[in-house]
Structures are given as structure tokens and as C-alpha cells.
Homo-oligomer: A and B are copies of this chain.
Amino acid sequence: MENELDHADCPVTATIALFGGRWKLLILYVLSRNTRRFGEIQVRIPAISKKVLTEQLRELEADGLISRKEYKELPPRVEYALTDFGKSLCPLLIDIAAWKRKNIG
């Protein structure tokens, strides 16, 4: 790695990019407890605007961490859920949090 030193293909950089967005960890946390509709996520993260929430959800979906299921009803209903890949992230996040408790407190 020291020869190239291009952080683009650094595995750590690539991994934290998955959940590096401003609200992504929070969204993942909310969805880890339950499948949720768009509005339900908003209620649990009041500070986020619709535009930004939409963006973060789209990116999480593009990275395969969450799934989006649209029911063709009126009024519309959309449900977001963690994918298996998204769930696989949880142990890692717990490890990171554990590191902090141990090394910082």
C-alpha cells in the first residue's frame, strides 16, 4: 500500500464511505429495529429534511445496505428495510463503538 498510496482503493476508506453520510448511521440504526416507512423515519430523526433524507436513502439503497419497497396505493406507501448486507454491518459498528468505550470512554 505504501507504494501507491491512493486512498481510493483503501479498504477502510471504502468501508466507512458506506455509512459516512451525515445521517446514514442514524437511518441504519432506525431500520435495524424495524422496517419503516419514509414518514416514520422522519419522525424519528426530526432534524433531517425530506430532501436530504431522500438522498441518504437513495445512496444507502445504491450501496445495497437498504431496500426500498413501493406499494402502488393512494396515498403512496414506501417501506425501507435493512438488507442482509446492511445487517452484516451491525457487528462492525458494534466493534467500533466498543473500541471507543475501551480507548476513550
Contacts and interface: CB of A to CB of B under 8 A. Distances in A.
Interface in A1-20: 1-2, 5, 7, 10-16, 19-20
Interface in A33-79: 33, 44-45
Contact of A12 (B33, B45, B96): B96
Query: Main SS of the interface on chain A?
Result: helix
Cβ-closest 3 pairs across A and B: A11-B97, A11-B100, A15-B100
Nearest to A101: B11
Q: How many copies altogether?
A: 2
A95 B5 CA distance: 20
A22 B22 CA distance: 16
Contacts of A95: 92, 95
